[in-house]
Amino acid sequence: MSLKLCFIGAGNLATHLATTCSKAGLEIVQVYSRTEDSAKLLADKLNTAYTTQTSSLVNYADIYFVALKDSAVEQVLSGIEFGDKLVVHCSGSLPLNVLSRFAKNHGVFYSLQTFSKNRKVDFRKIPIFIEASSEENLQILKEIANTVSESVTVLNSEKRKSLHIAAVFACNFANHCYAMAAKYLETKDLPFEILRPLIMETASKAQEMHPKQAQTGPAIRFDENIINAHLNELTEMPDLQELYNSISKSIFAHHQKKQ
């Protein structure tokens, strides 16, 4: 493939995706970001050009990857002339057709992963979900996706949105549970580090077991002795107490129902 890519956006996702594409031999011809620091940082990593003005976007890229937060996509794209170039967004939640008024040829390239700056991820293991306005565009995205990942699936906008909701639970909410544990331990002068093997094993179990079968702890059978003692301990942290109560009730309800 001798495709030329342009990245609109230079955040966590853009950084990981663009560097992965570049290493895989795809040519990144330009990076756009509203802030010069971000644009320059990513462009330097890729050894390519950058701009902070959409009016200065190159017109010779084959594909424009839009890796912006959802709420910025329409605003940033307004006024750009894409002609018949392929414009692709990377969002879990936005439907394919948000792009139809900007470009005839459009698509979606959603990487199901949590990206943080300065943390390497192995893109080959990241499931990628693609969708496009035509079979031809879909083939182009499939080729790019197969270049960077072992797991590529065609998925429509409706299912991708569902997947994104599930990902919020499995990733963002699970991580918040870690964060609440850390917050509580801090008040008790205990280090968060001691929970790390437990966190790793909990995730490892979910690689092989269904999480319902893997569930342990006092909430499954609503062990009131332990639960009430814990709620009592959390009196001075009402936010944690409320979460403890509502999640415990949800666990119990989930294990009461026949599966």
Query: Residue 88 is inside which H or E element, if any?
Result: strand 86-89
- Minimum CB distance to its own copies, residue 10 (Å): 16
Selected from 2, 79, 83, 194, the binder of its own copies by CB under 8 A is 194
Question: Which positions from 16 through 45 interact with its own copies, judged by CB under 8 A?
Answer: none
- Minimum CB distance to its own copies, residue 240 (Å): 8
Selected from 100, 154, 239, 256, the binder of its own copies by CB under 8 A is 239
Is 87 in contact with 59 (CB distance < 8 Å)? no
214: contact with its own copies by CB under 8 A: yes
Q: Which stretch binds its own copies (CB under 8 A): 27-35, 75-83, 139-147, 229-237?
A: 229-237
Selected from 40, 115, 138, 222, the binder of its own copies by CB under 8 A is 115
176: contact with its own copies by CB under 8 A: yes
- Burial call 144-172: b when 16+ CB within 10 Å, e when fewer: bbebbbeebbebebeebbebbeebeeeee
What order do you get walking across the sheet with 49-51 strand by strand?
49-51, 27-32, 4-8, 63-66, 86-89, 105-111, 128-132, 152-154
Structure tokens at 243: 């979460």
Is 75 in contact with 54 (CB distance < 8 Å)? no
Selected from 103, 126, 140, 141, the binder of its own copies by CB under 8 A is 126
- State which residue, 37 or 70, has the beta carbon closest to its own copies: 70
